[in-house]
Chains A and B, each alone.
Chain A
Amino acid sequence: MADRKKLTFALMDAPYENARSTTALRLIAIAAARGYDVNVFAYEGAVGLPSPRQKPHANAVHGRDVDEEDHPLPHRWIAALMAETERNGGKLDWVNCGLCVDERGADEAIDGVRRGTPGDFWKFAEGSDNTLVIATRS
């Protein structure tokens, strides 16, 4: 095991569906701030988190235009986390489950995200200090 800490996260929830996605990114942010290497295996709906197709919108109920609303986009959060990890000497390696991508037609992702398989999750876990699964719950 290398000196630098390495953590693996398996995420499962789609964007805009559950607070677990935000919580997962907050945990990753802590690891990033500490200069850890972070692996993410995005499974099922979580492959939508780094989609560059997410777009901000205005919100008439809030009475704000698109700029004022500054709607959160998970793909921007992930890009910021990648930059933050690198800035602190670590690396965020994000793998989207390929079959999950295919069945959803969600084959676009921001730079730094790569397509993979459950085998990548296994390799991530084997090479990490620990693994946290944040699964979908009913």
Chain B
Amino acid sequence: MKALNIVETAYRATIEEQDDTIVWITHAMKGAGADVSLLLRGNAVNYAVKGQDASGLAFGEARQTRPPELAEDVAKLVPKGVDVYIVDDDLADRGIERGELIDGLEHVGRGEIAALLGKFDQVWHW
């Protein structure tokens, strides 16, 4: 079975979780043998932008020593064999250039999404 995780809700509790929970579960499922891919759309396309820095959070003497590294987490999916798609139109809407992105992404237009979904047995839209 081939499944596609679509991440649209972005930065949902990523500080507390130290990652995006759907990117994380994609790693975990791949590690368990799943044939799973990832599509970043909407605000989640920003996950692929290099140079994000969420460090420095502190509440009094409680400091967060391990901030989320979202672009790195997405990038690490690629060598594991996870296809990572990103919607070009959503990048353009946000003024994000390709040169700002991590390597290894497969770019799709908004008009190509329906055909892409047809390649999967199950599509999970988070």
Contacts and interface: CB of A to CB of B under 8 A. Distances in A.
Contacts of B31: 60-61
22 contacts: A15-B16, A16-B17, A17-B12, A17-B13, A19-B11, A19-B14, A19-B15, A22-B16, A22-B57, A60-B28, A61-B24, A61-B28, A62-B19, A68-B66, A70-B65, A70-B66, A72-B16, A72-B64, A79-B62, A80-B61, A83-B60, A84-B59
A101 interface: no
B13 A19 contact: yes
Contacts of B62: 76-77, 79-80
B71 to A, nearest CB: 14
A130 interface: no
B41 interface: no
Nearest to A87: B60
A77 B60 CA distance: 8
Interface residues of A, number: 31
A22 B62 CA distance: 13
Q: Which one of B14, B31, B62, B73 has the highest number of Cβ atoms from chain A below 10 Å of its Cβ?
A: B62
Given A21-B13, A70-B65, A70-B66, A61 B59 contact: no
Interface residues on B, range: 20 to 34
Contacts of A81: 59-60
Contacts of A79: 62
B60 A80 contact: yes
B33 to A, nearest CB: 15
Contacts of A26: 57, 59
A17 B12 CA distance: 7
Max chain A Cβ within 10 angstroms of own Cβ: one of B15, B16, B19, B59: B59
B61 A74 contact: no
Interface string A78-118: 11110110010000000000000000000000000000000
B15 A22 contact: yes
Interface in A32-84: 32, 59-62, 64, 68-72, 74, 76-81, 83-84
A68 B66 CA distance: 8
